Amino acid sequence: MKLRKSPQTSIVLAEFLHRAHDWKYGYDISRNTGLKSGTLYPILMRLAERKLLATRWETPEAGKPARHMYKLTADGVAYAREHAPSPAKRRLAQPAFSGVKH
Amino acid sequence: MTTIRMTKIRKFGLKVLNIAARHAAPGTRDWVIAMSREMDFIENDWAALWWALGSTRILFRRQYVPLADLSGVPRAAQCLVKTIRRRTLVGCLVASTEAVFFGYFFFGVSTLTLRVASALTVAGVLYIAYQLYARRAAALPLDTGSTTSAYYTELERQRDFHRGPWFWSRQLFFLPGPVLFCVGEAIAEPESARACLAILAAFVFFWLRAVPLNLNQARKYQRRLEELEALQSHPE
């Protein structure tokens, strides 16, 4: 399974390993990793293309648009464990954007 | 959840994303829509705008869409033919322009080195034009059965265009002309040597860059071929 192992990809993989069974939103990943959308989404696309990442649309609640959610597949978890930096080495950058709404 | 006011900045961001979604490749469109949905959760207008502008970057990425079954072959084959036709047209136009440009130099320059360099460059671009023409898209039959086999053959042709003798001969044939041209120009006009060196460095950079790009393209075709083989052996 070939995937370009950039430092940004490692950061994203590490973020997915944190509570690996939860589905995550793109903006939350961006905030937690400090990666901008133009960097983050190509990584997510590559991971999904290689079947390391599962994607699904959230069931929309009334009045809210559906969001795209992401979670590592079993292969993805194994790959991430192999390639993600250890928590001690992991550098969490400043949030890419401020002003998130919870 | 508080309501976000639709400011002009945010509206502009959304407009950018809508345009991006319209122009995105089929496999990429969902991702651009996903990005636009996230904008509703960014409170800061400028942050939302930067988020939206980031979407334009993924427009340059063509998401690989795997074939779900053999019924998708005719459409994939049409896409391939369209891409190759565009490549042939653009490539031949660029090559012809370069041939005319360096042909003009051939008659206009004073030194033998530059004349030889011009001739080599013209020969190089004409060889590329020949390759593009020789590997132009073949007409594909319309029924699924014949299309699958023709699509397979076409994928093999296009894969070989980007690797092996086809690719390396193209690379090697194109190299000497421009290199000699820069060297010859630097010798003929020593005051422009620095500019010639810069042009030479840029040329070598793009020449080297062509190697991974072509090999990567060949790998994509190879992946599609393997996918097609798997679907043919297990059509369900």
Domain ranges of chain B: 8-58, 70-233
CB contact (8 A) between residue B37 and residue A66: yes
pTM score, two decimals? Answer: 0.60
pLDDT digits (tens, 9 = 90+) for B162-205: 999 999 999 999 999 999 999 998 988 889 899 999 999 999 99
Q: What's A8-83's CATH class?
A: mainly alpha
- Smallest CA–CA distance, residue B89 to chain A, in Å, is 29
Between residues A98 and B44, the one the model is more confident about:
B44
Query: Cα–Cα distance between A53 and A16 in angstroms, integer?
Result: 9
User: By C-alpha distance, which of A21, A2, A1, A36 is closest to A12?
Assistant: A36
Query: Cα–Cα distance between B54 and B3 in angstroms, integer?
Result: 24
User: By C-alpha distance, which of B135, B138, B142, B151 is closest to B228?
Assistant: B151
State yes or no: pLDDT of A11 exceeds 80: yes
State yes or no: pLDDT of A91 exceeds 60: no
- Smallest CA–CA distance, residue A18 to chain B, in Å, is 21
CB contact (8 A) between residue A67 and residue B37: yes
> Confidence class of residue B22 from pLDDT cuts 50, 70 and 90?
confident
State yes or no: pLDDT of A1 exceeds 50: no
Instruction: Give the model's pLDDT for residue A102.
Output: 43
State yes or no: pLDDT of A88 exceeds 60: no
Q: Which two tokens stand for residue B184?
A: 């010859």
In eight-state DSSP terms, residue A100 is B
Give the least confident one: A34-38, A91-95, B9-13: A91-95
pLDDT digits (tens, 9 = 90+) for B55-74: 777 766 665 666 767 777 88
> Confidence class of residue B1 from pLDDT cuts 50, 70 and 90?
very low
pLDDT digits (tens, 9 = 90+) for B104-154: 988 888 789 999 999 999 999 999 999 999 999 887 776 666 888 889 999
Instruction: Give the model's pLDDT for residue B222.
Output: 93
Interface test with B, best of A64, A97, A100 (most B CBs within 10 A): A97
A74 vs B: CB within 8 A:
no
Query: Cα–Cα distance between B11 and B13 in angstroms, integer?
Result: 5
Mean pLDDT, residues B44-49 taken together: 88
The one-letter amino acid code at B81 reads V
Max mean pLDDT among A35-39, A92-96, B26-30, B63-67 falls in A35-39
Instruction: Give the model's pLDDT for residue B144.
Output: 64
In terms of Cβ atoms closer than 10 Å to its own Cβ (0-12, 13-18, 19+), residue B27 is: middle
- Smallest CA–CA distance, residue B53 to chain A, in Å, is 8
Residue B64's Cα: distance from chain center in Å?
A: 14
pLDDT digits (tens, 9 = 90+) for A24-51: 999 999 999 999 988 899 899 889 888 8
Neighboring chain A residues of B44 at a CB cutoff of 8 Å: 97-99
Mean pLDDT, residues A68-79 taken together: 92
* CB environment B130-148: b (16+ within 10 A), e (fewer): ebbeebbbeebeeeeeebb
Q: What are phi and psi of A15, to 5 degrees?
A: -65, -40
A42 vs B: CB within 8 A:
yes
The one-letter amino acid code at B183 reads V
Neighboring chain B residues of A53 at a CB cutoff of 8 Å: none
Query: Cα–Cα distance between A76 and B11 in angstroms, integer?
Result: 36
Q: Are B136 and B88 in contact (CB under 8 A)?
A: yes
Alpha helices in A1-51 (DSSP H): 7-17, 26-33, 37-49
ipTM surpasses 0.90: no
CB contact (8 A) between residue A97 and residue B44: yes
- Classify A25 as helix, strand or coil: strand
> What average pLDDT is seen over chain B?
86
Nearest to B43 among A42, A45, A101 (CB): A101
Q: Which secondary structure element, helix H or strand E, spans residue A72, and what is its range? A: strand A68-72
